[in-house]
Every structure is written in structure tokens, then in C-alpha cells.
Amino acid sequence: MPSQSLETALGEVRELLLDPARLVRAVAAGRRHGQQPSVIRAEFRPVTLKAGPRMQVVTSDGVRPYTRNAEWGAEAAAVVDALLTEPFGNWHVETAEARLQLRVTKKGDAQVHRSAQAQTVRPSLEHDRDPGHLIGPDDPLFGALGGSAAKRRQVDSFLRILADAVEPGGQAAGKALRMVDLGCGNAYLSFAAYRFLTQKGIDAEMVGVDVREDQRERNTRLASQLGWADQVRFVRAAIADADVRFADQASARDGVDIVMALHACDTATDEALARAVEWRARTILAAPCCHHDIARQLRGLRTPPPYGMLTEYPIVRERFADTLTDALRATLLRLHGYSVDVVEFIEAKHTPRNTLIRARRTGLLPPAGLRDDYDRLVSDWGVTPCLAALLPPLP
């Protein structure tokens, strides 16, 4: 792909962003060689509010989003111009009729790919509308997978978080987005994630890992029936020692874009997080299930004063164990170079196991004092997190 002037390419991006009649959605993400933007991601789309049409701009620092609704005209232009000066490595712009993907090279030039937009219906601009389904209930995928409406709601909620984690245009030309689903079970999430991303025009490859051979055989048959055998594959292995390889035989040890683990039970979640860190995964999305390990340790330990009320009553102790486990997991990921957020990915009425650990690899040093705070917490409570034993020793 020939290079062109970055200034010229960004001028084209600016023109598309500031045209409310054409813009559908745009995302800026990644970073240029040797530079770091002040935010890791910016997303633009037109919306209609009670106050009238606006450009909605959502920026994220990797922990929480910040939303601004700018009036079209001078205000929107000022917001766009400020973000165009940020050293983002990739821009992805969708209009009603076309897509533009811009990647900044190491030399500071722009490689631009333009393609026709498959989407013919412009999304509603209503800001408060029902978000609907990311994959329609009548999609052939669900005919093959089955599953209840409740299951589809859980997966749909997970996919919305996955959508925020994916950087459109962030992959190098000819390189698929590499994903691993650890403890995939019946692979509902594996298939849905692949389907969702390919609908968005993202070239993706998925490897599902599960310890059961019957699940591997079933999932492989389904992948073949759906025509995805080359892109969605399954291996039988324990999470802790799975040898994950992609279609070109590259090992996960050479790098993975996204590692997912939906409801891996108890310490299986720790094993999934440890493998993700080992593979230097760019993004980790893990929804834990059960927290027996720390709960068991708390039952056999003397509670440090003055916190006896947290462990005196069994139900309170169990819930506290859930919270302590995930707090320690999040902190360990931060100590190993990730920015971390812990969120609800679906309302509790659909499943009580609705916590999601969302982590993005930054490679930056953790905040000063975090290691001391972690050491003091585990020492005071006398607990040994499973994840700590699975990760490399902290320096």
C-alpha cells in the first residue's frame, strides 16, 4: 500500500468527521512510533439530543470514558482539531457509503485504505434508543448454537464490551485479530465474538481452549457447519498448559490481541489471567465465576482487627471473599503492566456472576506505592492469591 502525506490524509479524515450528513462512526486509537497520546482511544458519532444534533465524542484513558456532545460547527471543529493533533497510530472512519482506514508508519507517513461500505442503512441517531441486538436473534448462528434468551443477553452484553476493546483499523494490513477463549466450554462466546467482529468487517481468528474432548469435537463440527473451520478452531487442553497456535502455526507466546474467559470457575480464572499476561495479550476480558480459593483461606485464618465483622457471618464472608479475590486480581494485573477496570457487564437479574475484569496492556510502571499496598493487604489478611503464584515474581 503506497504511503502519502500524513497532513493530507488527516485533512481528509477531518473533512469526513465534520460532515454530519455522511459520518456514521469514527475511531482513533493506537499510538505512533515513540509517541504516546494523552488518551488511548477516541470515538466519534453523530447523535440527536433534545437540544438538537450533536457530535458525540467519547475518549478513554484506559480506565474510564469521558463523553462530550459538541454542537456541529465551530465547537465540533475545535474538538476534532485537538484530537487530530494527538499522535494516534490509527484512524478508522465509516460514512454512509465508504470506509477509510489510516495507519501512520514508523516514518510518519500515512497508509490509507478505502473501501465501499457494506452497510446500506444508516443507524438511528437517537441517543437514548434501545441498543438492540448486536447479533440478530434470527441469525443462523443461533440456529446452530441454540441457547436461551438469557444466554444470548449475557453474550450480547459481553460483545458490547468487546466492541470497545477492538481498535478498528488497528491491525496491520493482512494481519487478523488474534483471539483466544480460555475455558470456552460449548464455545457460545467464541462463535458469537467471531461472528460479531466479522460483521464489522474485522478480519479475526479465534482459538477456543477447553479440557473436554467432547466439547472440542462438538465445537469443531459446528465451526465446519458454519463455514468457519479455518478461522475458528478448538484445542483440548487445560488452560495452564495449552499450546495455542494460530492458522499460520504462530504460537500465542508470540503475541495475542484479546484473551477472553467467560465464567471460568474459581482458580481457572486465575489460570486464564496468567496465560494472558504470559502471552502479553493486548486486552483481557475475564468474567470470574466462583471464588472458592480465597473463601476457603478466610475460613481457616484469624481475621485481622478491626475487620472481624467482615468474616463473622458466613454469607458476608463469602461475598467479601468475592470482592477481595477480584481486587487482588486487578491489582496484580496493574503490577504487571496493565490498566484495569472492574465493571458489571450485565444486570444482576440476568446472572449473579456479572463482574468483568477488563485490562489493557500498557507496559507502564504501576503507580508508586501500589506494590507496598498489595504486600500489606495480603500480609494483614494472611491470604495467598492463586494468581500471584502463577505470575512471574514481581521485581
* pLDDT at position 121: 43
User: Where is pLDDT greater, at 274 or 34?
Assistant: 274
Residues 240 and 272: their CA atoms lie apart, in Å, by 7
Q: Which residues of 29-41 are buried (b: 16+ CB within 10 A; e: fewer)?
A: bbebeeeebebbb
pLDDT tens readout for residues 82-123 = 999 999 998 999 988 888 889 998 889 999 988 775 444 444
Q: What mean pLDDT value characterizes the chain?
A: 86
* pLDDT at position 249: 87
Question: Stretch 32-58: mean pLDDT, rounded?
Answer: 87
| Residue position matching grid coordinates 462438538 | 218
* pLDDT at position 263: 83
Asked whether the predicted pLDDT for residue 140 surpasses 80, the reply is no
Asked whether the predicted pLDDT for residue 26 surpasses 50, the reply is yes
Residues 307 and 309: their CA atoms lie apart, in Å, by 5
CB 273 within 8 A of CB 337: no
Copy the grid coordinates of residue 289: 465465576
Residues 294 and 386: their CA atoms lie apart, in Å, by 8
Instruction: Give the sign of the dihedral formed by CA 118, CA 124, CA 128, CA 130.
Output: negative
pLDDT tens readout for residues 5-25 = 999 999 999 999 999 988 998
* pLDDT at position 386: 96
Query: For residues 239, 362, 198 and 59, what is the CA-based torsion angle, rounded to 10 degrees?
Result: 140
* pLDDT at position 116: 72
pLDDT tens readout for residues 285-330 = 999 988 899 999 999 888 999 999 999 999 999 999 999 999 999 9
The answer to whether the bond into 306 is cis (omega within 30° of 0) is yes
Give, for 272, the enclosing helix (H) or strand (E). helix 267-278
State how beta strands 204-210 and 41-49 pair.
unpaired
Asked whether the predicted pLDDT for residue 380 surpasses 60, the reply is yes
Residues 55 and 18: their CA atoms lie apart, in Å, by 9
Listed by start position, the domains of the chain span 3-116, 140-390
Question: Stretch 137-161: mean pLDDT, rounded?
Answer: 78
Of the pLDDT bands very low, low, confident and very high (cuts 50, 70, 90), residue 226 is: confident
**CATH 3.40.50.620 given to domain 140-390:** no
| Residue position matching grid coordinates 478448538 | 234
Residues 297 and 306: their CA atoms lie apart, in Å, by 18
* pLDDT at position 383: 95
Contacts of 292 (CB under 8 A, 6+ apart): 266, 267
* pLDDT at position 118: 46
The amino acid occupying position 92 is H
pLDDT tens readout for residues 199-218 = 877 889 999 999 999 999 99
Percent over 70 (pLDDT), the chain:
90
Residues 274 and 270: their CA atoms lie apart, in Å, by 6
Report the Cα 189 to chain-centroid distance in Å.
Answer: 13
Give, for 314, the enclosing helix (H) or strand (E). helix 314-335
SS3 (DSSP) at 209: strand
* pLDDT at position 203: 85
Residues 366 and 335: their CA atoms lie apart, in Å, by 5
